[in-house]
C-alpha cells in the first residue's frame, strides 16, 4: 500500500478526482482523474493498491475501484505518443539513409522509401534492377550534370525460371501435339534486343515486365521469318509477297498495302482481295501462331559500346562532311551474351490446305503443311540472318542446338 492524498471536487455537474502521491514524486505522471461515488473538498489521505497501475484506492475504510475506461484512455494516449516517437525516429533514419544512398533523387518517392535500405544487387528482377534501381556515377562538382551509367552491368546473370517449358506446354495444350513445333538455338554472337525501346538510358533492352529476364517477343520472331521470305523469295518486295496465296496464308495480309517504289506511293491489293470474292476479301489472319522466345537455363547480360564517329554528319541538316575531325560519341548498350540458348515455339491454329507453290516457290520443311514451311524459314532466318538489332554487323546470329 502506498500513501497518497486525494481531492474530489464537483466540476460541470460531474465528479473529478485527483490523486497526489506523497512519497514518490517520480510517479506523479501516473496520477490521473478518476470517478468516485462520494464528494468531498480539500486533500484527504488515502491508500493506493496495485502500484503502479492504481487498480483501486482505499479511503475511509472503503475500497474504491478506479474507472478502467479512464485508465484505458490514458494507456492508449501513451501508446500513441510512443508510436509518434517511433515514427519520428524512423523518418529521421529514412532521411539519413536517403542522403547516403546513390538511389535518392532518381526514384519516385514511394520507391525510394522501399529501396533506401536495400542494396540494388539484392533485387531479383533484372527488369526492376535495370529500369528502377538507377545509380549514377555522380561527379563531385555541383555544376556537373548527373548522367546515367551502365558501368555496373558487366556480367549480370539471370535464370529461365522454367518459362520455356511452361510456354511449350501451353502451346501444345492450345494447338495440339501435331500442330506445334519447337526449335532450340543458341546465340553465336551477342544479341541486341530493343535498342530503340523506351528506357531511362540512351538505349534499351527488351526485358519481360513480369519475370524480368530478356526475351524475344513473338512479333520479332514472326517478323524475322516473314522478312527473310520476302528478301529471299520476292527479291525484297513486299508488294509481290502479298499477292502470293501461301504468303498470305502463313502470315496474314491487309486487303490493300501502301508501298513506295520509285519515289511514288501506290496501293497494292492482296491475293484474296484481288479475287473479287466478297466472302474472302479484306484483311486476313495468318494460320501460324508465333510465341515469345524465352532463354533456356542461365544467361548473362553484358555491356557493349558503339562509337559513331560521324554523328554530326547524320544528325545535322547542314553540309557537314563525314570527316575525321568530327568527335566520336561512345554509346553504351546492353546485350544478351553469346552461347545463350533460346527456345522458339510456333504452331498452326487453323488447318488450311496447302496452296499451290506457284512460281514463287515458298517451299521447305519436312511434311506438307504450313507449319513445316514456317518452321523451315524461321530456322533459316535465325541461322543465316540473325534476329534483333545490328545483325548487319554480326549481332543476333544463332546456332542450332
What pLDDT does residue 358 have? Answer: 67
In this structure, is residue 335 part of a structural domain? Answer: yes
Grid cell listed for 107: 526514384
pLDDT tens across 164-180, in order? Answer: 999 999 999 999 998 99
What pLDDT does residue 278 have? Answer: 84
In this structure, is residue 77 part of a structural domain? Answer: no
- CA torsion 36-40-43-46 (nearest 10°) is -50
| Percent of the chain scoring above 90 in pLDDT | 30
| 7 or 273, greater pLDDT | 273
What pLDDT does residue 19 have? Answer: 52
211 and 112 in a common domain: no
Angle between helices 218-233 and 370-380 (to 10 degrees): 90
201 and 327 in a common domain: yes
The whole domain housing 14 covers 2-66
Number of domains making up the chain: 3
337 and 205 in a common domain: yes
In this structure, is residue 249 part of a structural domain? Answer: no
358 and 310 in a common domain: yes
294 and 350 in a common domain: yes
220 and 333 in a common domain: yes
pLDDT category of residue 38 using cuts at 50, 70 and 90: very low
184 and 222 in a common domain: yes
pLDDT category of residue 230 using cuts at 50, 70 and 90: very high
What pLDDT does residue 41 have? Answer: 44
In this structure, is residue 179 part of a structural domain? Answer: yes
Whether the per-residue pLDDT at 57 is higher than 60: the answer is no
| Percent of the chain scoring above 70 in pLDDT | 67
pLDDT category of residue 76 using cuts at 50, 70 and 90: confident
330 and 230 in a common domain: yes
Grid cell listed for 228: 527473310
* pTM of the predicted model as reported, rounded to 2 decimal places: 0.68
163 and 93 in a common domain: no
Give the C-alpha distances (Å, rounded to integers) separating 348 from 165, 227, 282, 286. Answer: 19, 19, 21, 9
Whether the per-residue pLDDT at 265 is higher than 80: the answer is yes
Looking at 13, 32, 66, the residue that finishes a domain is 66
Residues 213 and 126 sit within 8 Å (Cβ to Cβ): yes
What pLDDT does residue 367 have? Answer: 64
In this structure, is residue 395 part of a structural domain? Answer: yes
In this structure, is residue 33 part of a structural domain? Answer: yes
In this structure, is residue 120 part of a structural domain? Answer: yes
pLDDT category of residue 187 using cuts at 50, 70 and 90: very high
36 and 107 in a common domain: no
pLDDT tens across 109-121, in order? Answer: 676 666 666 655 4
Q: Give the mean model confidence (pLDDT) for residues 216-224.
A: 95
Q: Give the mean model confidence (pLDDT) for residues 358-363.
A: 68
Amino acid at each position: 500500500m502506498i500513501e497518497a492524498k486525494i481531492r474530489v471536487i464537483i466540476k460541470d455537474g460531474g465528479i473529478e478526482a485527483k490523486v497526489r502521491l506523497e512519497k514518490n514524486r517520480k510517479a506523479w505522471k501516473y496520477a490521473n482523474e478518476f470517478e468516485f461515488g462520494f464528494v468531498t473538498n480539500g486533500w484527504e489521505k488515502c491508500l493506493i493498491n496495485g502500484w503502479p497501475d492504481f487498480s483501486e484506492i482505499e479511503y475511509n475504510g472503503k475500497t474504491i475501484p478506479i474507472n478502467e475506461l479512464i485508465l484505458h484512455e490514458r494507456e492508449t494516449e501513451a501508446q500513441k505518443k510512443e508510436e509518434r516517437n517511433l515514427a519520428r525516429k524512423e523518418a529521421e533514419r529514412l532521411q539519413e539513409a536517403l542522403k547516403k544512398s546513390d538511389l535518392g533523387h532518381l526514384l519516385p518517392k514511394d520507391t525510394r522509401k522501399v529501396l533506401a535500405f536495400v542494396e540494388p544487387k539484392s533485387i531479383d528482377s533484372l527488369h526492376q534492377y535495370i529500369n528502377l534501381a538507377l545509380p549514377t556515377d555522380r561527379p563531385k562538382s555541383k555544376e556537373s550534370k548527373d548522367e546515367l551509367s551502365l558501368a555496373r552491368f558487366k556480367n549480370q546473370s539471370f535464370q529461365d525460371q522454367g518459362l520455356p517449358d511452361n510456354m511449350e506446354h501451353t502451346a501444345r495444350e492450345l494447338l495440339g501435339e501435331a500442330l506445334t513445333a519447337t526449335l532450340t538455338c543458341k546465340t553465336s554472337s551477342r544479341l541486341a534486343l530493343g535498342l530503340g525501346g523506351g528506357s531511362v538510358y540512351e538505349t534499351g533492352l527488351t526485358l519481360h515486365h513480369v519475370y524480368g529476364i530478356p526475351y524475344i517477343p513473338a512479333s520479332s520472331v514472326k517478323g524475322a521469318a516473314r522478312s527473310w521470305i520476302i528478301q529471299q523469295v520476292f527479291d525484297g518486295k513486299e508488294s509481290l509477297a502479298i499477292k502470293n496465296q501461301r504468303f498470305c496464308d502463313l502470315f496474314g495480309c491487309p486487303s490493300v498495302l501502301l508501298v513506295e517504289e520509285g519515289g511514288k506511293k501506290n496501293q497494292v491489293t492482296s491475293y484474296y482481295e484481288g479475287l473479287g470474292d466478297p466472302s474472302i476479301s479484306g484483311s486476313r489472319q495468318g494460320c501460324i501462331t508465333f510465341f515469345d522466345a524465352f532463354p533456356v537455363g542461365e544467361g548473362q547480360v553484358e555491356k557493349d559500346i558503339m562509337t559513331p564517329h560521324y554523328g554530326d554528319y547524320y544528325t545535322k541538316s547542314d553540309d557537314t562532311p563525314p570527316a575525321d575531325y568530327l568527335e566520336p560519341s561512345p554509346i553504351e548498350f546492353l546485350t544478351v551474351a553469346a552461347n545463350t540458348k533460346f527456345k522458339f515455339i510456333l504452331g498452326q491454329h487453323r488447318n488450311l490446305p496447302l496452296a499451290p507453290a506457284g512460281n514463287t516457290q515458298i517451299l521447305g520443311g519436312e511434311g506438307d503443311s504450313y507449319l513445316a514451311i514456317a518452321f523451315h524459314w524461321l530456322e533459316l532466318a535465325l541461322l543465316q540472318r540473325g534476329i534483333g538489332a545490328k545483325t548487319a554487323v554480326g549481332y543476333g546470329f544463332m546456332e542450332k542446338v
